Amino acid sequence: MKNDMMGIIFAENPEAGMGELTSVRSLAAVPFGGRYRIIDFILSNMVNSSIINVGITTPYNYQSLSDHLGTGKPWDIDRKGNGLFVLPPKDIPEAGEIRGNIDTIIGINHYITKSSQSYVVVSDCNTLCNINFSDVLKFHLESEADITMIYNDVDKLKPRELSTRILLDTDENNRVTDINVYPMHQKTNHSYMHMFIINKELLLELAGDAFAHNKHYISKDIFLPNLDKLKIMGYKFDGYCKQIDNIKSFFDTNLELLQKNVRDELFGLSSDMPIYTKVKDTVPTKYGVGANVSNSFIADGCLIEGTVKNSVLFRGVHVGRGATVENCIVMQNSEVMDNCLLENVIFDKEVVLRSGKKLVGQDTYPMVIGKKAVI
């Protein structure tokens, strides 16, 4: 049963507004947590669930993602027959372009059809959690569901959060009775995690029918119209879960890694479900005589000569003498020169902040500096 699943991951989410961070890369390839990419989490979840056939759709800006994934060796899915498949953009002949995730499914129908597995786990790339899909498949089969939507319970959401959320109503038997797509008001705390399990043939049938009727989105054009026709079940996930769909959620989720309980659960340190990523052989981080580091997540290959507080630093970052970096996310090979102040700021890769400069954002609205900028 465990090996009867294949995975499909959408590398983009049109509702996610990541600004500068996705101007040069896909959402799936956005760096996260010092040495990872966003896609590492859902891909590792699939591999840890014994899924050995994974297709990743790449509509645009996919060079960085392809370089990161390679042949899939870090995830042990560089195999013959199955393995990792990076599926490049493909226009739909009847429509001329891809307008939604149904169009994407139609565009990769040959890949789905030729796969030997019977069930498909379909997921967006930007939900961060540590989930075992084998448990979800077991629930799916035991409940005799046509579709199983995975959700988690959330607290009261802010209006801007509702604009990217899909909320589910379920009955006492966990059957989905209503779906609220990007609602104005929150009537339930069941938040769809943009992951579902379905039989392969049923997915192709539903997607083909929807596409033939000029429908393009799975949630509102397949799930919602079929609530009374198909048995759509809800599977509740109780673990740590975050959806990264804007700069603020990206900033907050990175800084939550400074909490040990979050790290232990998300990275599978308390279970046998580790998160894998592309391995780079880098020297250990060096700390100068005047270095002062507290409550920070620092990758290898850095040189710290100043003060770093409550921050996440990626590989190869240099913090100069007399510089202070606080509540920041500084990506790979960036440099904060001597006597600088950096607070509530996100640096993309290879940013240089020249000596004596100050950049201060707000914790509610962090400042973002694009890749290779020199300030």
Is the pLDDT score of 128 beyond 50?
Answer: yes
pTM of the model: 0.93
Do 242 and 128 touch, CB atoms closer than 8 A?
yes
Indicate the SS3 state at residue 349. Answer: coil
Return the H-helix or E-strand segment holding 198: strand 190-199
Q: What does pLDDT average to over the chain?
A: 91
Q: CA 51 to CA 309: how far, in whole Å?
A: 39
Collect all residues with Cβ–Cβ distance below 8 Å to 228 and sequence separation of at least 6. Answer: none
For 131-157, write each residue's pLDDT tens digit: 999 999 999 999 999 999 999 999 888
Q: CA 347 to CA 326: how far, in whole Å?
A: 12
β-bridge mates for residue 89, sequence order: none
Domains, the chain, ranges and CATH? Answer: 2-266 (3.90.550.10), 286-369 (2.160.10.10)
Is the pLDDT score of 127 beyond 60?
Answer: yes
**DSSP assignments along 326-365, one per residue:** ES-EE-TT-EE-TT-EEESEEE-TT-EE-TT-EEE-BTTB
For 47-58, write each residue's pLDDT tens digit: 999 999 999 998
Q: CA 203 to CA 221: how far, in whole Å?
A: 13
pLDDT score at 23: 87
Q: CA 312 to CA 298: how far, in whole Å?
A: 6
Collect all residues with Cβ–Cβ distance below 8 Å to 354 and sequence separation of at least 6. Answer: 337, 340, 374, 375
Collect all residues with Cβ–Cβ distance below 8 Å to 309 and sequence separation of at least 6. Answer: 293, 294, 295, 296, 324, 325, 326, 327
Indicate the SS3 state at residue 333. Answer: coil
pLDDT score at 1: 45
